Amino acid sequence: MPLIGRVFSENWRAHLGGYLFAIACLIGVASSTAFTAWIMESVVNEALTNKRADLVAIISFGIFFAFALKGFASFGQAVTLSKIGNAIVANYQKRLFSHLMAMDVGFYSESRSARVSSTVAQNVTGIRDTLNLVITSVARDAVTLVALIGVMISKDPLLTLITFVATPPIFIALRLVARKMRSATRDSVEFNAHVTGAMQETIQGLAIVKAFTMEDQLRDRVNALIETAEKRANRMARLSERTAPLTDSFAGAAIASVVAYASWQTIANGQMPGAFIAFIASLLLAYDPARRLAKLQVQMESAYVNAKMIYDILDTPLPMPEAPDTKPLAVTEGRIEFRNVTFGYGDEPVLRNINFIAEGGKTTAFAGPSGSGKSTIISLVPRFYDPLEGQVLIDGQDIRDITKHSLRTAIAYVSQAPLLFEGTIRDNIRYGRPDATDAEIEEAARLAYAHDFILALPKGYDTPVGEAGSNLSGGQRQRLSIARALARNAPILLLDEATSALDTASELAVQKALDNAMKGRTVLVVAHRLSTIANADKIIVIENGGIVEEGTHETLAQVQGGLYARLNQLQVRQ
């Protein structure tokens, strides 16, 4: 009930008019159904037995009107509820996407993105189903059932009482089925998410799958998941349809008893059959709404689980929330300072007491062994994570006291794994700055040494990039990501091994472009090849999460026994 209340409280105002119209249509359906049963007595007694020709036209018109009303009302409620349901699904999809975009990078490190997307795709309809089940059950099935019971009471009160004496045991049995349905639905959803996620990951990594001949291993794994999901779905089907033998057996016994009793009253006592025919018609027509109401809790359990899993995501607290008094970032020099920064992804710190200053308008590079924490330092500047201790400041402003949007607008970022999105090459470069003109986009591509290969493509800048840029080489994708960063024209540039995917010739070309792009900007750069950072204004050497050396390439390369000197000598030999 709390979940149903929440669903209604979030949606009824936006769709009040539609719901009122749908309820009116559903009441029309219920009324016409009850009228059809009620008029059977007049059909049998007056039209057929007493042969009242004067009433035949009225009775026939009444039946026609009832069925026409039912047809138009059914159409109206079905279309209206579908339209409202589609609007609700669209609204929750937008909310989910906005919420997932607000989550930090750590959330996706702990939750596999493929499973999150498949769970959302499967479960978002649970909100719509919850509302529609309640509306149709109350406004159509419950009203129809009450109206038909009223007809039955008016025709034979004692027989009505006897008919419904056996009802409570049926609902008790259905309640037990409904309780089992909740756990079965959750298990089924979980395994379906596993299946969808495994398929998505396999398709995305198909080249690796084929290169390592992983087809048989993955096929066995996915087949096992599919078979388990199939078993869970079969269990849900058995539980869901277990209501049929219970309700049908009860309905058959009730109707058979009524037919026997009515026949005996007519044959033995000579009573007019019209009332009994109307009673039997009411009982037969009441069977469907009664069956749907009996099955309602079982269906609601399934809708509840789906809706609950959506709210579990929406209710996940947003990490690193912005304080109400945050202000936009005011960039003057672009000076970045790390002050006593300690950070860890778990209990073990990755960075320990980091202190440095990256002067505005200059290039600060980070070097060191793999896993020493270089990329982690870069990720703290746009506030992908918050430090456990210490401060990150830009022009003296703690980045926790400024809005994330203004912070990230002032930063252009190029990661070591180039990522392109669905759309054309022009679209992907324009993501750097949505208001960039075509001329500015082409200029950014020239600076990134991407213009020539773009023009060589079939449609030039309007060439679709394929899924994640699959129709481009790694070097081409990286140059497009660099062009996207250059189009942003931000005062701070973060380069996390931005040339790692390039061959030697392309790297030299892009390095020249980056040298030009770095002028007048504050640049933090991580590079595996030390030759690419030889011209940096400052080089900070990281080892085991701490700063061990600091200086220029010339001074650090001459330090006897120094880490940077050893790394430099090793790369020179290579």
Hey, is 391 helix, strand or coil? Answer: strand
pTM: 0.67
Same domain, 385 and 295: no
CATH of the domain at 422: 3.40.50.300
pLDDT 10s digits, 50-93: 677 767 788 788 888 888 988 998 898 888 888 888 888 888 88
Mean pLDDT of the region 151-163:
78
Of 282, 314, 346, which residue is a domain's last?
314
What does the pLDDT look like over 252-282, one tens digit per residue? Answer: 776 777 777 777 777 777 666 667 777 777 7
Give the range of the structural domain holding residue 426, as residue numbers without chain letter. Answer: 336-573
Provide the pLDDT for residue 450. 87
Longest dimension (CA), the chain: 121
Instruction: Map 438-454 to HEC letters.
Output: HHHHHHHHHHCCCHHHH
Residues 173 and 55 both lie in one domain: yes
Do 28 and 114 lie in one domain? The reply is: yes
Whether residue 375 sits in one domain with residue 310: no
Statement to judge: residues 71 and 21 lie in one domain? yes
pLDDT at 569 over 70: yes
Instruction: Compare 368 and 262 and report the one with higher pLDDT.
Output: 368
412 and 378 share one domain: yes
What order do you get walking across the sheet with 492-496 strand by strand? 411-414, 492-496, 522-526, 363-367, 538-543, 546-551
pLDDT of residue 111: 62
Percent of the chain residues past pLDDT 70, beyond the cut? 82
User: Taking 80 as the threshold, does the pLDDT of residue 28 lie above it?
Assistant: yes
- Measured CA to CA, the distance from residue 488 to residue 483 in angstroms comes to 9
- Report the number of distinct structural domains present in the chain: 2
The CATH number of residue 222's host domain is 1.20.1560.10
Question: Are residues 237 and 152 part of one domain?
Answer: yes
Burial class (CB in 10 A: 0-12, 13-18, 19+), 161: exposed
End-to-end CA distance of the chain: 69
Whether residues 37 and 152 fall in one domain? yes
**Over the stretch 433-460, which tens digit does the pLDDT of each residue have?**
888 999 999 998 988 888 988 999 889 9
- Order of strands across the sheet that contains 389-394: 351-358, 336-343, 389-394, 397-398
- Give per-residue pLDDT as tens, 505-539: 767 766 776 776 777 889 999 987 787 788 889 99
Three-class SS string for 513-546? HHHHHHCCCEEEEECCCHHHHCCCCEEEEEECCE
- DSSP, residue by residue, 464-488: B--GGGTTS-HHHHHHHHHHHHHHH
Residue pLDDT, tens place only, 490-501? 999 998 887 765
Least confident stretch, 126-130, 197-201, 336-340, 411-415: 197-201
Task: Kindly provide the b/e burial profile for residues 431-441, where b requires at least 16 CB atoms within 10 angstroms of the residue's own CB.
Answer: ebbeebeeebb
CA distance 529 to 495: 13
**Strand locations in 359-434 (E):** 363-367, 389-394, 397-398, 411-414
